[in-house]
Structure 1
Amino acid sequence: MALKSTIYKAELQIADMDRHYYGDHALTIARHPSETDDRMMVRVAAFALFASERLEFTKGLSDTDEPDLWQKDLTGQIETWIEVGQPEERRIAKASGRADRVIVIAYGGRASEIWWQGVKAKVERMQNVTVWSLTDGVAAALGALAERTMRLQCTVQDGEASLGSASVDPVAIDWSVFKGTPR
């Protein structure tokens, strides 16, 4: 018998002064049985950093044809495809062909750097792909925010972002850009 996803609920308030985006989002997050709190919260942080009214979580790990998050236009065309982790070059290429914009958010410190060296030559040729790497320790700090029911606040200003809750100090979401633009 297959294990089922665990459902998390989050009320997320976003104040993104850089993009002039301010919004409240009621999120339902399905955490796959093989997913860690760290990875799940990196997905939430990715949502907060690229939030829009049409950005949504997908089946993610449960469906190999979908990213972790995507934004579609009103015709169903994929505008933004967001992957969390260290996807294979072939998966990034497939996403690049299907979406207007692809964002990969790697995490894991040194492991991300090693992964990037392995895919860099081919991914750098893809014009619509941006690749970030979260600073070592950020994913674990985000994972500490995980609760079955969460109230989170994300603030973005001058290229700096933080995500926090009333019970835990805000986590600075620091990243380096392997490819593409800072945001």
Structure 2
Amino acid sequence: MAAGATIHTFDVDLSDVDRGVYESFSLRAARHPSETEAFLLTRVLAYCLEFADGIAFSEGISTKEEPAVLVRDATGAITTWIEIGAPDASRLHTGSKQAERTVVYTHRDPDKVAALWAGKRIHEAERIELRSFDPGFIERVVGALGRRNALTVSAVEGRLYLELGGESFDSELLSRPAQG
């Protein structure tokens, strides 16, 4: 755990109808002092929406060798490299070379994030998926975020439904190639 980090806990009920994933689990996320609540929430949602055997948070922003979230197979190999926010092109290049699948979840304007990568050398950039939410969605949900959270996440037909802190939120789950 990072020094000075704030621990947030999430008791998650996940119903990802789109992928056929139905799970309940507890999740502890350490928020580094330089990490915004929007980044933390996006990281937690990425974890939920990519939930699979072998998923884990990395050591955090202090490590450059791993993404924010990753999925490993039984041999320890990284199968899914999951970045958050607006990672630089070199991180995407590394992730795309190391993992079968690379995806970025952003709480920012996806067009502006994708523009950062235009013309940059990224291994198999056309395979990298950029996922985002409706404008303002993350900011609205952050208002209900606490240190201890009961979070219900439902993904149905490309739409995301959340219940957090007694409030309900929904957003389209937008997806596009990172380049092209």
TM-score computed with the length of structure 2 as normaliser: 0.88
**Partner in structure 1 of residue 169 of structure 2:** 171
1:26-105 to structure 2, matched below 5 A, reads 26-105=26-105
Q: Which moved more, 1:48-57 or 1:7-16?
A: 48-57
Helix, strand or coil at the partner of 2:125: coil
Q: Does 1:23 pair with 2:23?
A: yes
Unaligned runs of 5+ in 2: none
Alignment partners' CA distance in 1, 2:173 and 2:89: 21
**Structure 1 residue 3: deviation in Å?**
4.6
Match of 1:130, as an amino acid? E
Is 1:96–1:129's contact at 8 Å kept on the other side of the alignment? yes
Q: Which moved more, 1:135-144 or 1:82-91?
A: 135-144
Helix, strand or coil at the partner of 2:100: strand
Is 2:159–2:173's contact at 8 Å kept on the other side of the alignment? no
Figure out how many residues of one structure are paired with residues of the other and give that number.
Answer: 176
TM-score computed with the length of structure 1 as normaliser: 0.87
Alignment partners' CA distance in 1, 2:34 and 2:61: 9
**Partner in structure 2 of residue 141 of structure 1:** 140
Is 2:54–2:74's contact at 8 Å kept on the other side of the alignment? no
Alignment partners' CA distance in 2, 1:76 and 1:153: 29
Cα-to-partner distance string for 1:104-153 (whole Å, 9 max, x where unaligned):
112223xx422312313445942541112333212212312321111110
Q: Does 1:152 pair with 2:151?
A: yes
**Structure 1 residue 38: deviation in Å?**
1.2
Unaligned runs of 5+ in 1: none
Match of 2:99, as an amino acid? A
**Structure 1 residue 27: deviation in Å?**
0.4
Q: Which moved more, 1:171-180 or 1:128-137?
A: 171-180
Alignment partners' CA distance in 2, 1:38 and 1:115: 15
- Alignment RMSD, CA only? 2.0
**Structure 1 residue 176: deviation in Å?**
2.8
